[in-house]
């Protein structure tokens, strides 16, 4: 599958510091849900900023649709209309007086016709289920509402790839489910979604593919298989996920066929045992 965006032989070091990433080959495939996992300081944020153009590789290249990205205004505009990053803290991203003004800023800055800006804003508000909040001052939103408003601002740019840094962090269970439902809708509409998280259970449940950042490099593969490897998880400072542990137990008791992927959630396990 041809990657939408990829790093080839990329490395990066912050000023006066050691290399955070070295000789990285990493690709985002169209239509996949990809999760990034690793301990604090493993390079997840740096990787996301490289992929979205917030940082320029010190070595190697970033490619979009197979063409190297140029870091002039035209090249970065091309990249950022295709790839959008939403940071962990929504207060670092929201700045306008109201939700609608904030969501409309990106499309307006592209110089799009007024009608198209309005259509994009309406679609983004609807996708994140915040249409009723359009006139609400951003400083009066709850934390979960601010998260969804920040994501809506990125969605209004109509990106092909949406990268989210810890989108469920700080949300209660209901807020997490509402956000995951919104992301499912975006995926159904054709957006490729990449999520960084420390929640291994969420990763197994949500992702098609996983990228685990370890001291020895980045391991990429199908999420269910990759996140069933206890040694890999330990090397990345991650605990074993619930789903693979339950699946291993069921197979050890001959209660689950070896070709059955097993339940991904407690609800699926409850349904399976009925």
CA atoms within 13 A on the CB side of 107: 26
The correct answer on CATH 3.40.640.10 for the domain covering 3-240 is no
Tokens of 78: 């091309």
The ranges assigned to domains in the chain are: 3-240, 241-274
Could you tell me which residues come within 8 angstroms of residue 35 by beta carbon, excluding any fewer than 6 positions away? 194, 195, 196, 197, 202, 203, 206, 207, 209, 210, 211, 223
Q: Please tell me the predicted confidence (pLDDT) of residue 244.
A: 67
Contact 195, 32 (CB under 8 A): no
Neighbours of 127 (CB within 10 A): 20
- The maximal CA–CA distance of the chain, rounded, in angstroms, is 62
Q: What is the pLDDT of residues 131-146, one digit of tens each?
A: 999 999 999 999 999 9
The tens digit of pLDDT for each residue in 192-207 reads: 999 999 899 899 889 9
Percent of the chain with pLDDT over 70: 88
Each residue of 159-176: pLDDT tens digit? 999 999 999 988 888 888
> Nearest-CA neighbor of 129 among 67, 175, 93, 82?
175
Q: What is the separation of C-alpha 75 from the centre of its chain, rounded to a whole number of angstroms? A: 22
pLDDT of residue 88: 92
Residue 212 or 250, more confident = 212
Query: How does the average pLDDT of the chain come out, rounded?
Result: 90
């Amino acid at each position: 599958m041809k990657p939408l965006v990829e790093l080839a032989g990329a490395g990066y070091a912050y000023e006066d510091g050691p290399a955070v990433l070295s000789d990285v080959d990493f690709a985002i495939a169209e239509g996949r849900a990809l999760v990034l996992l690793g301990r604090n300081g493993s390079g997840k944020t740096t990787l996301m900023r490289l992929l979205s153009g917030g940082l320029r590789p010190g070595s190697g290249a970033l490619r979009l649709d197979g063409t190297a990205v140029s870091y002039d205004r035209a090249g970065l505009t091309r990249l950022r209309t295709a790839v959008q990053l939403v940071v962990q803290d929504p207060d670092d991203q929201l700045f306008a007086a109201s939700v609608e003004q904030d969501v409309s800023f990106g499309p307006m800055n592209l110089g799009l016709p007024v009608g198209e800006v309005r259509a994009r804003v309406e679609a983004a508000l609807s996708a994140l289920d915040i249409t009723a909040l359009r006139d609400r001052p951003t400083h009066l939103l709850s934390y979960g509402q601010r998260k969804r408003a920040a994501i809506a601002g990125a969605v209004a740019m109509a990106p092909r790839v949406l990268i989210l840094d810890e989108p469920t962090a700080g949300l209660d269970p209901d807020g997490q489910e509402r956000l995951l439902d919104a992301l499912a809708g975006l995926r159904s509409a054709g957006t490729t979604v990449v999520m960084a998280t420390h929640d291994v259970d969420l990763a197994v449940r949500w992702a098609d593919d996983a990228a685990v950042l370890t001291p020895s490099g980045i391991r990429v593969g199908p999420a269910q298989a990759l996140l069933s490897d206890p040694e890999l998880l330990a090397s990345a400072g991650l605990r074993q996920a619930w789903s693979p542990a339950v699946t291993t137990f069921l197979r050890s008791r001959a209660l689950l066929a070896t070709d059955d992927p097993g339940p991904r959630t407690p609800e699926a396990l409850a349904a399976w045992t009925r």
